[in-house]
Amino acid sequence: MRYLFRLNDTPKSCRLTSQRCPTTHAHPYFISRLMLSLICCLIFGNTYAQTAKAHERAGDKAMDNKEYYAASQHYNNSVKVRPKANVIYKFAQASRLFGAYEDADKSYAIVAKSKDKNRFTQLAYWQGVIKKHLGQYDEAQGFFRLYAVQDGEADSFYRQKAEQEIRACKIAKDLRDAPLDVQVDWVEGGVNTPFSEFAPHRVGDSLFYSSMRFKIADKKGRERYRSNLLLSTGEDESKSFEDFENNQEHIANSALSSNGERLYFTKCEGGGSQDIICQIYVRKSASDGSWQPAQKLPETVNIPGFTATHPNVGYDSLRQKEILFFSSNRSGGQGKMDVWYSEILPMGGYGDAVNLGAAVNSIDDEITPFFHIASQSLYFSSNWHEGLGGHDIFNTRLEDDNWTKPINAGYPLNSSFNDVYFVINADNSTGYLSSNRTGSLSLNDDEACCNDIYAVTLALAPEAPLPFEEESSVTFITAPEIKIEIPDEQPPTYTPPPPVIISQTPYVPPPSTTFTEKNIITQLEELLPVTCFFDNDKPDPRSLAATTKTNYEDTYLRYYDLREKYKKEYAQNEAQLEWLVEDFFDWEVRTGYQNLEVFASMLLSALNKGYTIKVSIKGYTSPRASTYYNNILAKRRIHSVRNYFGTFAEKALQNYINSGQLIFYETPFGETTAPKTVSDALNDRRNSIYSLEASRERRVEIVEIERIY
């Protein structure tokens, strides 16, 4: 999918009619030609706008029907005609939902640079989601931090989700940097197609799985795709399982009982503007080897109006009970989709469904449970618990009637994409999962829309049981040297900042901003360094005073307003340099100020707890002036940042400065640390003032904090 076709600068009617537009001339002939052209422009221009609106309306309808690929195509066509920010945003949303992450990333970035960016209040959040899917965890963390600061409702779902993702991004880097001894391979042999393949499980030499590759027509003759159960023996092409192939409903997610006598699966109905509702069915084997007609499970499992899906049969060896695990959005859960279980009664009934509780289930989705009998561990996927991507694989086990805290299954089982339907085969050394990670087939080359099936080889001997280690990042990996501890409230490292959304009035967090009490000092340390950038010879140009009355906030606002001037003076109409200047102001200048706001809020929270804290600040300049002057200028810049702290939160920090509970340690370096490549020529203003090299030297850094007692 290619997005946002760039039109040239000729008038629209000329582009549409492939004719040369006339130019203005005093002769009546040329005037008549001009009038005719203007009339044509009005006619074609109106048609042009109507075409854009028609595509947008079609995209809106497709979004309502959850047809995200079709919606993205319609929005793309609308953007080609008229690139409006709101339609580009819609295109980004549809692309994200379909899985075209790179298209979504580029489009969100365009919206963030538009004059209408402030209309899209969740833009920073969705940019964080996309950056995380692309494995760009530092950038994702920055966007989530920005959104968490912007969203003033502490209990809102997206605020809580953003704060959870901030922690997840830190953990994701740790997991990725400690890969496990696991091999994950794309399954060949015709199993995978450009459509979604999922829910794999092996029985003997046969691979059972589900696929969305089947095209059917509804009663009105409209074509759509549905899922069906397939069976592959590795020798021939996969074939449909039994008599499901003529069904109109989605049939998927098969699971066999341990004795092989019962086949569970889901049947889903609905679509379009209505939500799809799935219910769990079972077919029992007959004496002749065939399967009896399907029976819908009772309302202890299937509740009318709610989805029950992803069945999996386990055996609790301690209680000696057969258990049906499944996912459902039924009422009484912790959030959206939760993992539930129901006891399979000896006479064939099903006990009341039991929620696994808040230790496992969250306010978001937990899906695709798999109970591994050998280790008595439950594996599932979640898009809430800290992980590398959208849905990650986790495991837990039942101890004293309580499920343990889920542990991330680690990299490369998990990726920055969606990883679901993890199962372990009977040999305990191999398994499968479904993922839309890089390498999966798709309808287009640049999308990650569709799941494929991947074979997993574990680092275990075939007969070895799967140990459960409380602190291990993956319970079934016998590699004690790889242990990633995930503390309850450990915050992430905040480096380096990504591009951010620019608003006319900088946001200042309210004094009531709260932070985790347990690790407030650690959180402050992990924000460092906080970097504040300055315009040339600011504040107080040509002054020999080492102090200033100027607040850094005022200096920052005036500096940021000069970004177009910097772009003009340095880039000199070179497009690549213009982008670099824009990125500097967005990624570094603006985000530096945002970081200062967050740091001040957290600092106030720490001081309110009674800590005495020393903050180390360093000041730098570019080498344009004398060493003596630059040393004074560096002190002046440090003082402007101190002034910011003094006025923060209605001078709440100033009270701690006065009492000696907040101490500043200042080190003015001037230009002494600037590289020799930075120009100091007074007559070379382009390089000594406006260049990125010189701009990065004009800064103050908060580099260290120390808790005195």
The string of pLDDT tens digits covering residues 21-72 is: 333 333 443 434 444 444 444 444 455 556 889 999 999 999 998 888 889 9
Contact status, residue 669 vs residue 634, Cβ threshold 8 Å = yes
Residues in the chain: 709
Q: How confident is the model at residue 182 (pLDDT cuts 50, 70, 90)?
A: very high
Contact status, residue 521 vs residue 528, Cβ threshold 8 Å = no
Whether 183-457 shares its CATH topology with 520-707 is answered no
User: What whole-number distance in Å separates Cα of residue 334 and Cα of residue 336?
Assistant: 7
Q: Which fold has domain 183-457?
A: Tachylectin-2; Chain A (2.115.10)
List CB contacts of 452: < 8 A, sequence separation 6 or more. Answer: 186, 187, 192, 196, 197, 434, 435, 436, 439, 440, 441
Q: Which fold has domain 12-176?
A: 1.25.40
Measured from the Cβ of residue 20, the count of other Cβ atoms closer than 10 Å reads 8
Q: What's the order of all strands across the beta sheet hosting 407-408?
A: 366-372, 377-382, 392-396, 407-408
Q: How confident is the model at residue 685 (pLDDT cuts 50, 70, 90)?
A: very high
- pLDDT of the residue at 627: 83
- pLDDT of the residue at 195: 85
User: What whole-number distance in Å separates Cα of residue 380 and Cα of residue 393?
Assistant: 6
| C-alpha 127, offset from chain centre | 7
Q: How confident is the model at residue 141 (pLDDT cuts 50, 70, 90)?
A: very high
User: What whole-number distance in Å separates Cα of residue 567 and Cα of residue 303?
Assistant: 61
Proportion of the chain above pLDDT 90, given as a percent = 55
Contact status, residue 194 vs residue 441, Cβ threshold 8 Å = yes
- pLDDT of the residue at 221: 64
Contact status, residue 358 vs residue 368, Cβ threshold 8 Å = no
The radius of gyration of the chain's CA atoms, rounded to the nearest angstrom, is 30
Contact status, residue 359 vs residue 347, Cβ threshold 8 Å = no
User: What whole-number distance in Å separates Cα of residue 522 and Cα of residue 514?
Assistant: 15
- pLDDT of the residue at 679: 86
Measured from the Cβ of residue 681, the count of other Cβ atoms closer than 10 Å reads 11
Mean pLDDT of the chain: 82
Contact status, residue 124 vs residue 147, Cβ threshold 8 Å = yes
The yes-or-no verdict on residue 501 having pLDDT over 80 is no
Instruction: Copy the structure tokens of residue 680.
Output: 């100091």
Alpha carbon of 313 to those of 41, 227, 295, 322, 488: distances in Å? 67, 22, 17, 7, 31
* Total-model pTM: 0.61
User: What whole-number distance in Å separates Cα of residue 310 and Cα of residue 228?
Assistant: 14
Question: Left (φ > 0), alpha (ψ -120 to 50) or beta: where does 368 sit?
Answer: left
* For range 126-133, the mean pLDDT: 96
Q: Count H helices and E strands in the chain, helices first.
A: 16, 26
The structural domains of the chain, with segments of one domain joined by +, span 12-176, 183-457, 520-707
Helix, strand, or coil (residue 282): strand
User: What whole-number distance in Å separates Cα of residue 618 and Cα of residue 668?
Assistant: 6
In tens, the pLDDT along 552-594 reads 999 999 999 999 999 999 999 888 899 889 989 988 999 999 9
Measured from the Cβ of residue 677, the count of other Cβ atoms closer than 10 Å reads 8
- pLDDT of the residue at 144: 94
Architecture in CATH for domain 520-707: 2-Layer Sandwich (3.30)
User: What whole-number distance in Å separates Cα of residue 62 and Cα of residue 58?
Assistant: 6
User: What whole-number distance in Å separates Cα of residue 31 and Cα of residue 477?
Assistant: 82
